[in-house]
Amino acid sequence: MKLLPVALSVAALLSSPLAMAKTVNAVASFSILGDIVKEVGGDHVKVTSLVGPNGDPHSFEPAPRDSKSLAASDVVFVSGLGMEGWMDRLITASGYHGKVVVASQGVDSRQMDEEGKTVTDPHAWNSMANGVIYATNVMNALIAADPEDADYYRQHGGAYIEQLKKLDAWAKQEFSGIPVAKRKVLTSHDAFGYFGKEYNVTFLAPVGFSTESEASASGVASLIKQIKDEKVKTYFIENQTDPRLVKQIAAATGAQPGGELYPESLSGPQGPATTYEKAFTHNVEAIVGSMK
């Protein structure tokens, strides 16, 4: 009978919210998506990003450790829209049989003719309106993976989503003061289509949606002529791409450097784009600044 109070105490401890709190092991395909999962999941989620800061999700080659990360995960997040062409092979190799969440589900995708083929633009998150869709899908997936902590995800994720909505409104306000004729930029590859559509900015690039695409001599010549005709004044390099081609085009057109953008990858810990929110804010401020 003397053991009863101890037993009751243990039972009470085990039934407490602290004891029942679950940590979801999540894998995200690349750093920007990984940050969204981290921000929504908070203390209840441990996130591994396969493609880390300053990495290129197009040309990524998985290592054995990535297979191990998938095998040990509760849920896997991908952007979809053709971004992670290497993911199916990695999932098969890892033996993972859990849920694969496509964060871009519900996005109005963009198509483009590239080398005679119709391809889907995978860079949907660069529009913050789509970022809201990503975060909402992540929140719902975490609730499904860990229903006991559903209220936490709704509160934590909901606050994050409201912050992203404010960033979207802020970006539109920032561009509203720039004449449309000045909203033209040269970048390394075609990663800002959704951004351009959302905020009415024209982006020119020597290569298409994938950094693995190759620019033809005729294509580069046409782009140089277009940049001169449209009087594009600024070029940007991207943290995850080789800047040499865009610099050569800039030299031929007189376009001036505007700095570095972060369309597909966060910066390292000392950089200006350590989170999705910071990357988006940096990109908007740099692009708007170049047009004033």
| Residue 73 contacts residue 99 (beta carbons within 8 Å) | no
Q: How confident is the model at residue 110 (pLDDT cuts 50, 70, 90)?
A: very high
pLDDT at 186: 83
Q: Is residue 190 part of a domain?
A: yes
| Residue 283 contacts residue 276 (beta carbons within 8 Å) | no
Q: Which residue has the tokens 């750093």?
A: 31
Question: Is residue 49 packed enough to be buried (19+ CB in 10 Å), middle (13-18) or exposed (0-12)?
Answer: buried
**Separation CA 35–CA 173 (nearest Å):** 25
Chain-wide mean pLDDT for the chain? 86
pLDDT at 62: 95
If one counts the domains in the chain, the total is 2
Beta-carbon contacts of 89 under 8 Å, excluding residues fewer than 6 positions away, are 62
For the stretch 156-211, pLDDT in tens is 999 999 999 999 999 999 999 999 989 988 887 678 999 999 999 998 876 544 44
For the stretch 231-261, pLDDT in tens is 778 888 786 666 677 788 778 888 888 888 8
Residues 134 and 241 in one domain: no
| Residue 258 contacts residue 236 (beta carbons within 8 Å) | yes
Residues 55 and 94 in one domain: yes
Residues 52 and 139 in one domain: yes
Domain limit, last residue, from 123, 151, 169: 169
Residues 56 and 156 in one domain: yes
**Separation CA 204–CA 183 (nearest Å):** 11
Give the domain CATH number at 100: 3.40.50.1980
| Residue 101 contacts residue 250 (beta carbons within 8 Å) | no
Q: Is residue 137 part of a domain?
A: yes
Residues 227 and 186 in one domain: yes
Domain ranges, residue 209: 179-291
Domain limit, last residue, from 137, 169, 201: 169
Domain limit, last residue, from 169, 189, 206: 169
Residue among 266, 125, 289 nearest 195 (CA) = 125
Per-residue pLDDT at 287 exceeds 70 = yes
**Separation CA 47–CA 134 (nearest Å):** 16
- Number of Cβ within a 10 Å radius of residue 5: 9
Please tell me the pTM assigned to this model.
Answer: 0.85
